[in-house]
Amino acid sequence: GGLADAREMAAVTAKALGCRPSEVVVASTGVIGTRLPMDRVRAGIAAAAARLDRNGGADAARAILTTDTWPKEARVTFPVGGRTVSIGAMAKGAGMIAPNMATMLAFFTTDAAVEARLLGAALREAVGESLNRVTVDGDTSTNDMALLMASGAGSVPLIKEPGRDYDSFRAALTEAARRIAEMIVRDGEGATRMAVVRVEGAETAADADRVARVVAESPLVKTALHGGDPNWGRILAAVGRSGVAVDVGRVDIFLGDVWVAEGGCARDYDEEAAHRAMIADPVHIRVRLGQGQASGWIWTSDFSRGYVDINAHYRS
């Protein structure tokens, strides 16, 4: 089945490039449960291999797009051993996007030389502060990945232990991942508006993240975002059904700088100011739980007619 096709893709690619199949990473998305047209895949691999070029990054970023409307690329430089090296990034993803990355493919490369165990640790940390903090529609797909490769071509000392050079690399990788993650949310299927949902005063970071995710994935909150409607009651309702034990009488809600709810009740706020906050770029939704000191956040986008149109006719 599909696993055999993936192995064949690796073997065909390895033959075209003169490497081992174990050195090939297969990444794909598509209609769930439908086999890929392997005759076209084989021909595509041969054609792509023939066109390999050191300056082909932008072409690759465009080639992997599906319902995306524009390519997603980022480059961040950082110092190692007195010299400057880079991290390059590209990704695709616009729908079925939720924490755990969902139907998203992200590729990071660097000309620094980094030990494999440190690469893995840095990637997990970077993804945790970027790609795993985005949601377009709350649906997690069967295909997702983030891949990091280090070539060592920058002729800088090998990063083999935690320290100043590793911290520099890790910060650059996180910055590149955050840029890519924000692009994914902004280019979400049918998205017209982006929002940052931040939850403060939780007992644990996991609680804060859980509440933030439920608010960010609420269809009612997302449609209010689309309409610029400061309907904070929908936010409070999502907090209440998050599965986290919350004393609603302690919950405060802010839309931008507008304090709209205190202790779970409406404040005497300026409705027009709240509306302006709901059409800002990005929209900032802040929830204070009054339970502890932990906080968390997530990026999300609105639900529009465009999202429905795309997904109502996805296979056609």
Domains and CATH numbers, the chain: 1-52 (no CATH), 54-186 (3.60.70.12), 194-312 (3.10.20.340)
| Amino acid identity, position 226 | H
d(CA 235, CA 61): 36
Distance CA 185, CA 104 (A): 11
Q: What is the mean pLDDT of residues 176-201?
A: 92
Active site residue 77: no
Per-residue pLDDT tens over the stretch 62-85: 998 887 888 999 999 999 988 999
Looking at residue 32, its pLDDT comes to 78
Strand 105-110's sheet: what is its strand order?
Answer: 72-80, 83-92, 105-110, 145-150
Residue 159: predicted pLDDT: 96
CA pair distance 216, 98, nearest whole angstrom = 10
Task: Kindly give the pairing relationship between strand 72-80 and strand 83-92.
Answer: antiparallel
3-state secondary structure of 80: strand
Please tell me which residue, 190 or 88, carries the higher pLDDT value. Answer: 88
Q: Which residues contact 39 (CB under 8 A, 6 or more apart)?
A: none
State the average pLDDT over residues 264-281.
97
Average pLDDT over residues 34-59: 93
Q: Is the pLDDT of residue 253 over 70?
A: yes
Query: Which of 67, 103, 135, 300 is flagged as catalytic?
Result: 103
CB 91 within 8 A of CB 132: no
Q: Is 307 left (phi over 0), alpha (psi -120 to 50) or beta?
A: alpha
Classify 285 as helix, strand or coil: strand
- Between CA 170 and CA 172 the distance in angstroms is 5
User: Is the pLDDT assigned to residue 101 strictly greater than 60?
Assistant: no
